[in-house]
Amino acid sequence: MPERADVCIIGGGVVGCSIAYHLARTSRLKIVLLEQGHLGGGSTGRSAGGIRRQFLTAIHIQLSIESLKMFQTFREETGWEPGFRETGYLFLLSTEEERTRFRRAVELQRRLGVAVEVLSPPEIQRLVPCLRVDDVLEGTLTPGDGYASPHQVVWGYAERAADLGVQVRERCEVTGVNVRGGRVQGIESREGQIAAPVVINAAGPYAGPVGWMAGVEVPVTPWRRQLFVTAPVADLAREVPVTIDVHRNWYFRREEGGALIPAPTDRQSSFNTAVDWEIVPEVRSAGVHRLPALADVEIVRGWAGLYEISPDNHPILGESEVQGFYLACGFSGHGFMHGPVAGKLIAELILNGRTTGIDITPLSPQRFREAQLIQEPLTMHGVKESDVRSPMSEVQRPMTDDR
Ligand SMILES: Cc1cc2nc3c(=O)[nH]c(=O)nc-3n(C[C@H](O)[C@H](O)[C@H](O)COP(=O)(O)OP(=O)(O)OC[C@H]3O[C@@H](n4cnc5c(N)ncnc54)[C@H](O)[C@@H]3O)c2cc1C
């Protein structure tokens, strides 16, 4: 007889752990979470931890507003310190087109209750003296945003979920999803079979291959994203807002007294997470224009992870065409900040058939079949409206050797 559970969650990143915790907190279901490596060892542990409410679509802003509240109360909720630093998020705008686009966004953000300030170049300079601002027209600042520790958040959710009875299994790869008559039956793993009426695909950049196990096309494409940290910078002795140069599609934040800076995202499908050290001079010089102090500091470490890009850069949340097989993936580089609320919403959907607070119908997997894509040009991988791909292109085929 196979083992039985009520719910199997595939993936132990922030999304899977948040779902496990929220399901366990509000039900008595038997829940098993399966993680092929270690908790937080996927994209979550490689994320920059950024949490912001400056987006251009209402649904993204709402997800951020709710998640931010959850980061703020995370310690009371889980007993774990999430390491939230309220540095604010600052966007720098250098062209009239950017200014117009962001003024529209500011209006929407304010309408939804976000306190966002519009700053002049001298105000930006006072806030972040080490920035070059002579070519900046304006800035938009959300003081309440910031960043937190991905590992602490994952462990907070996972440990509390385990306290509530969830079986968390690390080093346990799911190798198959059983489906009969259009209904999910359970999973196959390296440790055996589990029969379950509900299976959740929270496999981050591997959501495509995991979807194929159930015969479901999940349009999530992995893109490598690399981050580097410099030696301490004298001008960054204290915290500054996470600062995004919209025109250059570049950002930095403080990390260990130095600057955390990105390489351009590799906009091609790949599971490669090796660091390309040859790109280091380019990474540093790309930032010198905005942060001149970078010219004099070494890059001391770096890492690479995978973004999980959906065709419209919004998460895919809901039941797939296979009954009982739920998708919680495709966060497109925003899954750390949206993981807390996504876990709560998926738990509500499974337990009650509907969500409270945020209507996630527009995020359902069916939108790709119905061509109801959402447009969000404000991403850190610089996707413009014209780049939004046709729904089912670039979907990953089942397991390749480079996993
Ligand atoms: C460099 C970088 C910087 C980022 N910065 C930010 C940021 O500042 N803010 C932000 O909000 N987001 C950021 N992101 C995006 C964020 O990291 C992701 O959106 C988020 O971590 C997704 O969480 P997840 O739980 O869905 O995926 P993951 O953390 O990848 O978890 C999925 C898990 O599923 C497991 N898995 C896969 N297949 C199987 C299987 N067959 N069996 C069992 N387990 C399996 C994997 O091992 C993995 O641990 C960044 C990402 C990168 C790469």
Question: What is the rounded distance in angstroms from the CA atom of residue 116 to the CA atom of residue 91?
Answer: 11
Does residue 317 or residue 389 have the better pLDDT? 317
Phi, psi of 153, deg, nearest 5:
-70, -45
In order of 259, 276, 285, 305, the CA distances from 298 in angstroms are 10, 16, 11, 22
In 3D, which of 239, 227, 237 has the Cα closest to residue 303? 227
pLDDT recorded at residue 376 = 65
How far, in Å, is the centroid of ligand 1 from the Cα of 137? 35
**3-state SS class at 136:** coil
Nearest CA to ligand 1 atom 12: 334
Give the per-residue pLDDT at 370: 76
Instruction: Give backbone dihedrals phi and psi of 198, rounded to 5 degrees, phi first.
Output: -130, 130
Q: How confident is the model at residue 380 (pLDDT cuts 50, 70, 90)?
A: low
Compute the distance from residue 307 Cα to the ligand 1 centre, in Å.
Answer: 7
Rounded mean pLDDT, 73-82: 97
C-alpha 306 to ligand 1 mean position (Å):
7
Q: Where would I find the beta strands (DSSP E) of 215-364?
A: 221-230, 242-245, 250-255, 258-262, 299-309, 316-319, 325-329
Cβ atoms 254, 241 nearer than 8 A: no
- CB of 242 closer than 6 angstroms to any ligand 1 atom: no
Kindly provide the residue ranges of all beta strands, DSSP E only, lying in 65-119, ordered along the sequence.
89-93, 117-119
The finding on whether 106 has its CB within 6 A of some atom of ligand 1 is: no
Tens digits of per-residue pLDDT, 283-342? 998 999 999 999 989 999 999 999 999 999 999 999 999 999 999 999 999 999 999 999
Q: Please report the pLDDT score of residue 265 as a whole number.
A: 82
Q: Is the pLDDT of residue 381 over 70?
A: no
Let me know: does 51 contact 82? Beta carbons within 8 Å.
no
User: Atom 31, ligand 1: which residue's CA is nearest?
Assistant: 13
pLDDT tier, 88 (very low <50, low <70, confident <90, very high otherwise):
very high
Read off the tokens for 59.
């649904």
CA of 43 to the centre of ligand 1 (A): 3
Cα 320 to middle of ligand 1, angstroms: 20
Domain ranges of the chain: 3-47+150-219+311-387
What SS3 state is found at 123?
helix
179 CB near ligand 1 (under 6 Å): no
Q: Of 315, 373, 364, 366, whose CA–CA distance to 342 is shortest?
A: 315
Q: Which CATH number is associated with domain 3-47+150-219+311-387?
A: 3.50.50.60
Confidence of residue 377 (pLDDT cuts 50, 70, 90): low
Question: 3-class DSSP state for residue 159?
Answer: helix
Q: Give, using CA atoms, the residue closest to atom 21 of ligand 1.
A: 44
Q: pLDDT (tens digit, 9 = 90+) per residue, 25-56?
A: 999 999 999 999 999 999 999 999 999 999 99
Which token pair is 186?
A: 């359970």
Q: Answer yes or no: is the C-beta of 204 below 6 A from any ligand 1 atom.
A: yes
Q: Provide φ and ψ at 393, rounded to 5°.
A: -80, 160
pLDDT at position 267? 84
Q: Return mean pLDDT, the chain.
A: 92
Tell which residue, 396, 263, 330, 300, has the closest CA to residue 11: 330
Average pLDDT rounded to a whole number, residues 79-91: 97
Strand partners, 14: none
Q: Is the pTM of this model over 0.75?
A: yes
pLDDT, one tens digit per residue, over 265-289 is 888 999 999 999 999 999 998 999 9
Q: Is 345 in the pocket of ligand 1 (CB under 6 A)?
A: no
Instruction: Tell me what pLDDT residue 237 has.
Output: 85
205-237: b (≥16 Cβ within 10 Å) or e: bbbbbbbbbbebbbbbbbbbbbbbbbeebeebe
**For ligand 1, is residue 331 a contact (CB within 6 Å)?**
yes
Return the residue whose CA atom lies nearest to atom 8 of ligand 1. Answer: 50
Closest by CA position to 345, among listed 128, 59, 49: 59
- What's the CA-to-centroid distance between 204 and ligand 1, angstroms? 5
